[in-house]
Structure 1
Amino acid sequence: MTGLPTDPQPLTVAVIGTGPRGLSVLERLAVRLREMPAPRRRLRVYAIDAVEVGAGRVWRTDQQDWFTMNTVVGQVTMYSGEPDDGPARPGAGPSLGQWIAERARTHGEEPLGPNDYASRLRYGQYLRSVYRTIAEHLPEEAELIPVRDRIVRARPRPGGGYDLLREGDPAPLAVDRLVLATGHPRNEPDPFEREMLGFAAGRPGVHYLCGDSAADLDLGPDTIPPGTTVGILGMGLSFYDVMVALTLGRGGTFTSLPDGSLRYEPSGREPHIVAGSRSGLPIPARGKNQKEPHYSHRALFLTPHAVEQARKRRLAETGSARLDFDEDVLPLLLRELDHVYWTAHVTARDGREAGERFADRHATVLLAGGDPAEVLREAGLDGIPALDLHRLARPFGDRHFPDLQSFRTELLEVMRRDLEEADLGNSEGPLKAALDVLRDIRNVVREAVDYGGLRPSSHQEAFLRRFLPVNALLSAGPPRYRVRQLMALVEAGVVEVAGPATSYTVDEEAGGFRVASPRVAGSARTAQVLIDARIPTPDLRRDTSPLVRALLADGLVSEYVVEDAVHGERFETGGLAVTRAPFHVVDAAGRVRTDLYALGIPTEHTRWFTQVGSSRPGMRTLFYRDADAIAADLLAGAPEEPSSDGRALVGAAPGAPAEGGRA
């Protein structure tokens, strides 16, 4: 950085949103500042959050402690380096697990092991401690100013930078550079939601709650009195949060039984819960963690080189480097899972050395394009069912059940079998070891799909509509104890699962919402309250944030659109258009705004799986690299390389011709 500490005009940066993504940028800024040689220009950073500076909305520290993370504490860190002999500071600080262990020692707080799960409240407290550490270890020529307010507009200044207009203060904040890390959106209702909201309006005691973080839903007894029938749409991670709030949060308790299962003791203040989803299956449990924090699966089949080669083939064959997910990516991903699955079976049966010998031979055959059937037969695996993601995600298929009891019996059996697999672990258990690869391989999948890497039709149909629902169900489950709690609630009659293909309609005659599965006779129930337990999908045009709406209206941001002239296809993604790292925003005219950045969930669909909320100890994760790229550019001010006409080629896939896309 140029300039002297006495420069009258500091470089002024604002980070809007101080959850994990915004905090990661602040942490890397602090590290880079301390590593830069003096003299340095002064730096002023505004850390802005409408809910809680240093934690954000989802992780805020005033929420109840029954909302739980789904990653073990030993694999979570917000520091870009591990602790050393010095004090905790940016670039060298404790993981969440280490921080909790230290708090247990010094403050008598509840200890957790590295493979335990923390509450979101506790993670929020950890985030706040990281924020304080950043503030305490900035060099003297830098200042960090917390601003708890909502920014409603970013007005460009003639000489560059922005005036930030605040909801709670008429005086604008003048900044040279702006980082958007605004996290999960709240969207305007879609047609289904408008119908549900309209039906509930004017009917006392009837409520529809749009999808949101469970901590922000009105789940209290005024809205949901004891004994009320509550319908829940979706049975993913947020479903478990709502379930716990309406049971444990109402004073119910779980008792452990000798066989390891749980029994629920109701308080009498619970509602009656009727849940459903497309699959009819609550999201299965995460496998018992057996991996070290720095563990990284070494891909053999779905590798960056394989993706690059597939692009070259597509370009030669079609004139476009865009991939077909079903043909170019999914077979390699399934091969990766199969290899781990079969190897874990051999290792569990015959020991590590036998597993390694099998793995070498199996991989050799697959890499040569051969049929592995003979290898499986010789290893004695031909009698074991093959891994079938669709069957796992849709265990009931198209079957019909004669009554709710028969479906309930089978559902509980499916859940019991899954828990048995989860208890075997994510390394030693063949099923959960294979499914964990879905998490480990995300970065390579991103190389295939990000920035219009797929044909638009393939991205919409194969990736978004077919693969992602299965991937989300099988790769991101809750802790095992949550599934045991759900089973206890089903057995106690507090929770019913309607069945596959659950429908949610209004019932004018009954004056409530009808929840029913067409495949389970007698499943229909009338609910006074309907809760959408799905986190809203980012969609730039539906985001209700005043800031996002103003940025769109002023032409400062644009939707990422993939146009494929070779195939005659177009895909309006709903994501915010950004360049590759350092993620400069692309405006409505297609120009790169080098003083405006966006990171995380607002850019979902331009990039994939941006909801990651932490880094991992000892690893240079993408989460860390994303933050560092922005921090480096904020301090250096290097502009993004534009195309010859001044527009950013953000829509082009790697290796694709320039016509490949636009914002």
Structure 2
Amino acid sequence: MNTYHVAIIGVGPRGLNILERIKAIFEQQLIEMELVIHLIDPGEPGQGTHVANQLDYFLVNTIAGQITMFSDTTVTNAGIVVKGQSLLEWASEQGYRYADGSYIKACQEGRSLSENDYLPRSILGAYLTSVFDKIVYSMPSNIKLRHYRCRAENLVAGEDNCIDVVLEEGYKLAVNFVFLTIGHSQSKPDFEEQKMSDKVLACGRHNPHLAYFHNPYPITKLTSISPQASVVVQGMGLTAYDVIAQLTVGRGGRFIDNTPEQLWYKPSGREPQIMIYSRQSLPFSSRGVNEKGISGQYQAKFFTRQHIDQLRQRAFQIRRTYQLDFFEELYPLLFKEMCYVYEVTKLGIIELNPQLYVPLKEVQDAIEYIFNPLKNSDFKDHDDFKTFVLKLLEDDIVQAFGGNVSNPLKATTDMLRDVRDNLRYAVDYSGLTPSSHKRFLKEFCPIINRIAVGPPKERNIELLALIDAGIVKLGPGPNSTLEFSEQDSKFLLKSTQLRSPSVNSFDVLIRAKLDSFYPTTDRSKLIKNLLRSGMVTPYKNGAFHPGGIAIDESQNIVTRDGKVYKNIWALGVLVEGPNFYTYVLPRPFVNSKALQDAGRCVLAMLNQIVCHETRPLHEAKLEN
């Protein structure tokens, strides 16, 4: 019997998708062969960054009913459908219930789980490992698994299209196929960040509380921050909410119910003083209460693939290129779509005639305000800016309670999540001109993240309570500048758009931003070695590098010399650049892109075996 060997490097959710598809697709095939799958990951199987041993106040940012690791009948071109439990179904079966503000297993009190619950990430981690266990225990007899609790450090091309996977300590493993699904990474500090670190290190003897965290994860390292320290958090997105939770509830503070829209915060006395700021210094908008069920999605009227294709044809006729300018050609369609959703929802009707639709001026103004609430703003001082942001935050929470179908604002912003696949269709594989691609990532994506993929409303209710309690303060307005005073051994945050300038000093700086994946700055030995050998190369759209490594449209890696390795696939964060928005977990009944990609890659591997494009390996021995 012929034997083929497969390496999955990184067994988080993306690697788990590949494993599930291999099991499902190869189990269906009546092929006389043996498949040996080598799983290479030092962590718990399936979990990736969603570790099961973290504290319960860190929540998943997607409702429980909209997370799954299994395909369904909507998923196209991905192989046979094998049903499995969603996160909600698994957690309910395990006996989790919501009681006294927590999700507790085997509890008789409280209520059963809802599809709209935002569960702790620890439960998601346990779910992912349970999916792994289910797949492993049901493997057919001709598929073997070997798990290496270590990291891969290199790939070396061998004879007959085989690949040597170099593990830690120099051991080599010969395989026929490789799936690179290594997930999130950590980048080396850039020049400015390294300079900041050096200054902090040099001045530490003058300020015992002085510290700089380039990356807040693992979040437990923030326990070193003294309660007497003053902390500035750079970034107001989802990572900032983690940092705030760790420094408040993680230190024994408690939220106490007042009304459904309001909480009180009872400090433990061990919280440091915290100030949060970002480029706009606006908190992320709350998610609207889900009224769409598990699979409900808005269907675009204007920002459609058909219209995108028409724009490409027109661009080719005019400019001899199929690449589009996002702001000139695509944004008007998306803006019109938002106007349409807002107006239909506000009127309380099912639809307007798309052929005749022209947005009203007042509707256009409403959408422009969603994008930029600070337009034409003028703030006297720090208190004036704080009053503005608190009003914006309070109004946003009220809107969120209105729901993502019934409330005009939340229906409009949630629509942006529903048309994400169309956005991918427009952007993936250099769909935009290089200059437009750069501007899209720098200017448009931060706005989309702020208005459409924010936290559950409960997180912003908690933020208001922390501000009321004086634990958290808002930064001094948009475009504040951060400096380091070597004389004072303090960080200085200065306003730039207040009529009465404001300066605040701090002991600790926390950079609350997830690193994007840029191969040349990644800390991983695997990526460093692959770059050095030229087996992978940074992805380029013209002269612009948006991030990620180069791949073709089949997810196969492309070398520095332009060679395509048909037996090596890369998926997930590693290819955030040629692919757009790879961070999200699969969602049931919406033809999830993550499940599609996994299925397509595994089917391609099967085809190579069936067509005898690679020779079998009888045994993949570890060699040093």
Matched, 1:91 2:64: no
- How high is the TM-score relative to the length of structure 1? 0.85
Matched, 1:593 2:565: yes
Q: Quote the offset at 1:481 in angstroms.
A: 0.5
Matched, 1:516 2:487: no
CA RMSD in angstroms, aligned pairs only: 2.1
Match of 2:40 in 1: 48
Matched, 1:496 2:473: yes
- How high is the TM-score relative to the length of structure 2? 0.91
CA gap of 1:134–1:541, structure 2 versus 1, over 3 A, is same
Task: Choose which of 49, 56, 59 in structure 2 pairs with 1:68.
Answer: 59
Cα distance in 1 between the residues matched to 2:81 and 2:64: 19
Match of 1:339 in 2: 340
Match of 1:377 in 2: none
CA gap of 1:383–1:628, structure 2 versus 1, over 3 A, is closer
Task: Choose which of 221, 225, 228 in structure 2 pairs with 1:218.
Answer: 221
Matched, 1:618 2:589: yes
Q: Quote the offset at 1:425 in angstroms.
A: 0.5
Kindly report which structure 2 residues correspond to 1:427-506, keeping only aligned pairs within 5 A, or say none: 427-461=405-439, 463-498=440-475, 499-506=477-484
Q: Which amino acid aligns with 1:108?
A: A
1:9-54 deviation line (CA, Å, top 9, x unaligned): x2111111111111111111111022112x4310011122133222
Match of 2:211 in 1: 207
Task: Choose which of 24, 34, 39 in structure 1 pairs with 2:17.
Answer: 24
Matched, 1:548 2:527: yes
Aligned partners of 2:69 and 2:86 also within 8 Å: yes
Aligned partners of 1:235 and 1:533 also within 8 Å: yes
Task: Choose which of 575, 580, 588 in structure 2 pairs with 1:603.
Answer: 575
Match of 1:647 in 2: none
1:112-152 deviation line (CA, Å, top 9, x unaligned): 31101011111111000000011011110001222211111
Matched, 1:227 2:228: yes
Match of 2:106 in 1: 108
Aligned partners of 1:90 and 1:133 also within 8 Å: no
Q: Quote the offset at 1:156 in angstroms.
A: 1.9
CA gap of 1:620–1:184, structure 2 versus 1, over 3 A, is same
Aligned partners of 1:53 and 1:147 also within 8 Å: no
How many aligned positions are there? 589
Aligned partners of 1:314 and 1:322 also within 8 Å: yes
Cα distance in 2 between the residues matched to 1:486 and 1:512: 25
Match of 2:615 in 1: none
DSSP 3-state at the match of 1:22: helix
Unaligned runs of 5+ in 2: 74-79, 98-104, 612-624
DSSP 3-state at the match of 1:338: helix
Q: Quote the offset at 1:327 in angstroms.
A: 1.8
Aligned partners of 2:340 and 2:359 also within 8 Å: no
Q: Quote the offset at 1:385 in angstroms.
A: 7.2
Q: Which amino acid aligns with 1:61?
A: A
CA gap of 1:333–1:176, structure 2 versus 1, over 3 A, is same
CA gap of 1:515–1:306, structure 2 versus 1, over 3 A, is same
Cα distance in 1 between the residues matched to 2:337 and 2:377: 30
Cα distance in 2 between the residues matched to 1:114 and 1:155: 46
Q: Which amino acid aligns with 2:467?
A: V
Q: Quote the offset at 1:319 in angstroms.
A: 1.1
1:364-403 deviation line (CA, Å, top 9, x unaligned): 213xxxx444xxxxxxxx76674324x3344234644333
1:340-362 deviation line (CA, Å, top 9, x unaligned): 11111111xxxxxxx12xx233x
Cα distance in 2 between the residues matched to 1:523 and 1:29: 58
1:441-478 deviation line (CA, Å, top 9, x unaligned): 111111111111111111112x1222111111111010
Match of 2:120 in 1: 119
Match of 1:655 in 2: none
Aligned partners of 1:68 and 1:118 also within 8 Å: yes
Aligned partners of 2:342 and 2:363 also within 8 Å: no
Match of 2:319 in 1: 318
Match of 2:620 in 1: none
Cα distance in 2 between the residues matched to 1:620 and 1:400: 46
Q: Which amino acid aligns with 1:429?
A: N
Q: Which amino acid aligns with 1:254?
A: F
Instruction: Report 1 or 2 for greater relative contact order, CA contacts < 8 Å, sequence distance ≥ 6.
Output: 2
Q: Quote the offset at 1:639 in angstroms.
A: 12
Matched, 1:526 2:529: no
Aligned partners of 1:365 and 1:372 also within 8 Å: no
DSSP 3-state at the match of 1:561: coil
Match of 1:182 in 2: 182
1:148-181 deviation line (CA, Å, top 9, x unaligned): 11111122223322222222x4432221111111
Aligned partners of 2:339 and 2:359 also within 8 Å: no
